[in-house]
Structure 1
């Protein structure tokens, strides 16, 4: 390595120029950097339910529409308020990308005035047709089996405006072809030529998604502008999946930019306080920024999208690169103080030689930790594992190239006074010597408390809780959830029953029983099915349920507008399916998705007599629940794999079983501690918090490797374990303290985010960093002093 370091230092100008050119190339790609918050990024890849859901959407249409909640103080059904709503709708329809707008003005009415069965086929009653009785319409909206607690709230003061966006038919067909080919690939049914074609289609879809997202964001911005113009006479909130994904991308973008800048600013301030030198601020901050920018450019070049999980990669790379450079700086200053007359070239070379091995091993263990995420089975988690695995390698390479090149081109740094002792680390060393046995008691208490907390850990979280209460998403979702029948859709599909439904009275009664059962559950809001039409027809038939003969006549003669509302979404004659749509209340505090799904399946099959394979539960609730439930398995698998791999790495690094075990024990605590806290505070695992354990382990073992490596080096001087501990605490302990405090404060910045998972990520990662620091400066040296493992010297 010395020859390589000599070469770097001799060719510093050329090397730095090449590094800058490489950096500029990748930075130039950042304009193509993309974020993804679509529903696809929140589901489990390879989930059979996902393929089924995609097929259902082909038959019944997508649930990707916007909902505007329109709330007034008094009644919706007054001439002035209806006129205001009418003008609002007209302005919405002027927006280019809006295909249709459905309101209480244009939906068909069946009881305003009451229509007989015969009149249902001939009359077309609606407010906009100017043939509706407004008093009766007001009553119908509040009590109709179709509109009550769905289109209009029970108190008649809130209504939903359904906004459907225009579809790009070519893109839709391309996406369907992509889904079909991916299914074939999963079943190993694609030839080599077809696999090449699939890659081309994937690139085309990626470009189209980017274009569609930009158009969607512009459309939503236009809708919000229109909403602001009409908020004087109504309380308006925008909701729906397209709006949520667009806003999440905005949150992620803001967090990525604002908090990265905040982390940079805060780290600069901390470095200024620690080193009191412009050089020791600009160099580490500059190298860290370039490392993160290069990784961002690589992602853009490869076409990899950043999701909710990987959105903090930039800040993570900043602090990981900074950690390496701070270790180099601290060692540089130590050597300079011990050898004041050493020339600049030799000083830099000695710094690199002494720090390369521990930094290489720490990077390797961090790489292993993040690589463990590749077995999670959750695509966004896997992608995050790849991003960080590549990123830590870039951090190491750039640090060991840029730092010596820059330092060799600058005059030798004047180190007039190097602080070799920090009160905090010295006190920790004294505590270990005098009260070390207490640490073991603390360890047992922490393990018991963490175990209890972990036993209470769950994945049952509410999507609405991802956003602060003052955000439009939270307020809009809460209003829709409470007043308009729930937010998250659950679908139940009954196969091969559509044709029999019109003739079989027993079947109609059974479907009615299912409908009523679903409607009785606390977690459900609005339930819609073909039974909703039956309830409307029963009202029109003086409270008598129509027989099969009448039903066949009516269903063939219903006006098209009525069929769109009450027939086509719930009965498909082409597929032979009956469909129920149930909206689940996210604001229901006792909601347990997995338990609810099992309960519904059990009741329909056991209590109501439907065969298990004759119906299927589908919808975003199922997909999201499958992904959440997989988090438990993923967490267990990744933590197990990472500990096994790191133990093997320790054996390779330390060449001692006892020392490897000693190094591993303190670094199990941060991850167990974090999981225990989450369980005790009833904070569920989600897509972001699942990665914290891996990060805690990855960075924690870095401290262990640095400490043990320095301990081995210092032990050569006198073979005195206690004296070696003190020297290690005042040397490498100093670098560990500086890096950990910098990282901790940097991550705490995320607590100011509007996105709750980002807040949890920042706070718990900060706690993990502090606990890892304390564990490696207390428990690790105590175990070394107690066991006295053989130190390879």
Structure 2
């Protein structure tokens, strides 16, 4: 069959099996007739389902914990959890205080008060600060171990404060670890329980600091505050991106259709499918992640196409005495293209389920596929049912710029084809230049509080991301401790690794205090005594 479109352009349609095509059309025609006959039931049922799933949205949670995106059976995840359980948690929140000089009585008093309040918070395993970190000194009985600063007897005079500053900055165990090298910043390290609500604990830590009305500049860093920042970022993205994509599609549909039904119906379709998808996520207790927070945007951008096709065909429906027959014809003609378009998109998202390592990406694939399926179903049932119920004779078609655009494309098809190929080839040249980066810090804008905090921690304390290496064996053996020191030296050779510490450093320090030099004792008995 040859269909003439213009003086010079035509489209040939061939089929090898006309009987098969008739069977498919017969099935779709029967399904379309059923949808239109029970149109009221479909509209009411869709509204009921939407209300039910929409009510479930109140239970939708946000999960910003990046570690939870990884499979639980991964060896790295198992080791991470094992080390955390063994040493009292591996989630560390960091609070940095900045002043002209940390070593003044008022600042030390606030640090001591803040340390005490943080220790009383639920979910906090331990706190290390300038006012409770241990110090080792020699005494008549051997070694005297106690806090560097007595919180109940803080230094007040200028001489006492100067002596404390000089001593603290002279010790490698403190400099760059608990106090900056210039004495203007100090860090409070909070080790949190692994099973605690990291985001809630981070919020409580901020509340405690704010209640003290500290005069020093305060920065918050570490993974719990990172999770809090990601959580706020996800909420911001949902509040910003959904209305934005809604507005863009609204404008596009308005220009294309130039009538109210042509604008409202596609937006209604994707809005319903989004509510259904997020509602089912809430019912299944699947939280929103930093990856799946774009699901609504994807559904609006991709899912609107199906209802646009349906609305377009109903606009082209000619008025006739047999209203049902005309509507069935329109829905039948658009059925196969819409179903094929939806099926290919669904299969594309399903590939994430089988080809991804991260559980968050698998969840993204599952619920994007589900959302597209919902959008497809709504477009082929609810939208035609609503059109038929509200205006059985079809939608009035208005002239739009689409016809002129289509003619221009057909007229300049060679030029457009060549230009498209050139763009594709040019873009393909850039594929080998793609770099992989996993620095979460780059997710935040430079002006955000978390980004500024991380820059301060990196500059003054070497960074907030700990690398933990578990050593098993005879830890009290001098040979083991010496190997640990060699590992530290090796790690220090990397430009992005700073302030490596181990129990070997503590043994060296105690040995130095005992007057035997800063080294690992060769006698195992001496090492055992220092451990005691």
Distance 1:155 1:452, change over 3 A: farther
State the partner residue of 1:555: 531
Q: How does 1:401-416 map to 2 (within 5 A)?
A: 401-411=381-391, 412=393, 415=396
Distance 1:258 1:66, change over 3 A: same
* Structure 1 gap ranges (5+): 173-211, 557-793
Distance 1:275 1:451, change over 3 A: closer
CA–CA distance in structure 2, aligned partners of residues 242 and 123 of structure 1: 29
State the partner residue of 1:78: 104
CA–CA distance in structure 1, aligned partners of residues 147 and 253 of structure 2: 74
Compute the RMSD of aligned alpha carbons: 2.8
State the partner residue of 1:417: 398
Alignment of 1:493 onto 2:474? no
Do the aligned residues in 2 keep the contact of 1:515 with 1:531 (CA within 8 Å)? no
Say which of 374, 382, 388 aligns to 2:368: 388
State the partner residue of 1:194: none
CA–CA distance in structure 2, aligned partners of residues 396 and 151 of structure 1: 58
CA–CA distance in structure 2, aligned partners of residues 531 and 117 of structure 1: 24
CA–CA distance in structure 2, aligned partners of residues 464 and 316 of structure 1: 25
State the partner residue of 1:239: 221
State the partner residue of 2:350: 371
The Cα of 1:90 is off from its aligned counterpart by 4.5
Distance 1:536 1:275, change over 3 A: same
Distance 1:120 1:377, change over 3 A: same
The Cα of 1:40 is off from its aligned counterpart by 2.8
SS at match of 2:187: strand
Larger Rg: 2
CA–CA distance in structure 2, aligned partners of residues 123 and 255 of structure 1: 49
Alignment of 1:361 onto 2:334? no
Say which of 82, 88, 95 aligns to 1:68: 95
State the partner residue of 1:350: 329
Alignment of 1:106 onto 2:83? no
CA–CA distance in structure 1, aligned partners of residues 472 and 205 of structure 2: 39
SS at match of 1:525: coil
CA–CA distance in structure 2, aligned partners of residues 529 and 463 of structure 1: 27
Alignment of 1:432 onto 2:413? yes
SS at match of 1:488: coil
Say which of 461, 465, 470 aligns to 2:447: 470
CA–CA distance in structure 2, aligned partners of residues 3 and 11 of structure 1: 12
Distance 1:433 1:547, change over 3 A: closer
Distance 1:117 1:534, change over 3 A: farther
The Cα of 1:256 is off from its aligned counterpart by 1.9
Distance 1:294 1:421, change over 3 A: closer
Do the aligned residues in 2 keep the contact of 1:104 with 1:127 (CA within 8 Å)? no
The size of the alignment, in residue pairs, is: 496
The Cα of 1:80 is off from its aligned counterpart by 2.2
The Cα of 1:320 is off from its aligned counterpart by 2.3
Q: How does 1:606-621 map to 2 (within 5 A)?
A: none
Do the aligned residues in 2 keep the contact of 1:37 with 1:246 (CA within 8 Å)? yes
CA–CA distance in structure 1, aligned partners of residues 153 and 415 of structure 2: 89
Distance 1:64 1:297, change over 3 A: same
CA–CA distance in structure 2, aligned partners of residues 472 and 64 of structure 1: 20
The Cα of 1:410 is off from its aligned counterpart by 1.2
CA–CA distance in structure 2, aligned partners of residues 428 and 93 of structure 1: 70
CA–CA distance in structure 1, aligned partners of residues 199 and 145 of structure 2: 42
Distance 1:433 1:33, change over 3 A: same
State the partner residue of 2:15: none
Distance 1:131 1:552, change over 3 A: farther
State the partner residue of 1:774: none
Do the aligned residues in 1 keep the contact of 2:90 with 2:191 (CA within 8 Å)? no
Alignment of 1:150 onto 2:126? no
CA–CA distance in structure 2, aligned partners of residues 544 and 232 of structure 1: 39
State the partner residue of 1:702: none
Alignment of 1:120 onto 2:99? no
The Cα of 1:243 is off from its aligned counterpart by 2.1
SS at match of 1:492: coil
The Cα of 1:52 is off from its aligned counterpart by 2.3
Alignment of 1:519 onto 2:495? no
Say which of 56, 74, 90 aligns to 1:47: 74
Say which of 280, 299, 305 aligns to 2:287: 305
CA–CA distance in structure 1, aligned partners of residues 418 and 342 of structure 2: 32
CA–CA distance in structure 1, aligned partners of residues 405 and 214 of structure 2: 59
Do the aligned residues in 2 keep the contact of 1:143 with 1:154 (CA within 8 Å)? no
SS at match of 1:68: strand
Say which of 448, 453, 470 aligns to 2:430: 453
Q: Tell me whether 88-97 or 307-316 shows the greater mean CA deviation.
A: 88-97
1:457-482 deviations in Å (ceiling 9; x for gaps): 23233221111112222122222122
Say which of 278, 292, 304 aligns to 1:322: 304
Say which of 222, 234, 257 aligns to 1:252: 234
State the partner residue of 2:54: 27
SS at match of 1:527: coil
CA–CA distance in structure 2, aligned partners of residues 413 and 428 of structure 1: 28
Do the aligned residues in 2 keep the contact of 1:280 with 1:329 (CA within 8 Å)? yes
CA–CA distance in structure 1, aligned partners of residues 43 and 419 of structure 2: 51
CA–CA distance in structure 2, aligned partners of residues 223 and 526 of structure 1: 25
State the TM-score, normalizing by the size of structure 1. Answer: 0.58
State the partner residue of 1:535: 508
Do the aligned residues in 1 keep the contact of 2:108 with 2:154 (CA within 8 Å)? no
Distance 1:353 1:435, change over 3 A: closer
State the partner residue of 2:21: none
Structure ranking higher in helix proportion: 1
The Cα of 1:551 is off from its aligned counterpart by 2.5
Q: Tell me whether 78-87 or 11-20 shows the greater mean CA deviation.
A: 78-87
Distance 1:471 1:537, change over 3 A: same
The Cα of 1:554 is off from its aligned counterpart by 2.2
Do the aligned residues in 2 keep the contact of 1:100 with 1:163 (CA within 8 Å)? yes
Say which of 389, 397, 400 aligns to 2:380: 400
State the partner residue of 2:44: 17
Q: Tell me whether 282-291 or 259-268 shows the greater mean CA deviation.
A: 259-268
Alignment of 1:293 onto 2:269? no
1:546-579 deviations in Å (ceiling 9; x for gaps): 44243322221xxxxxxxxxxxxxxxxxxxxxxx
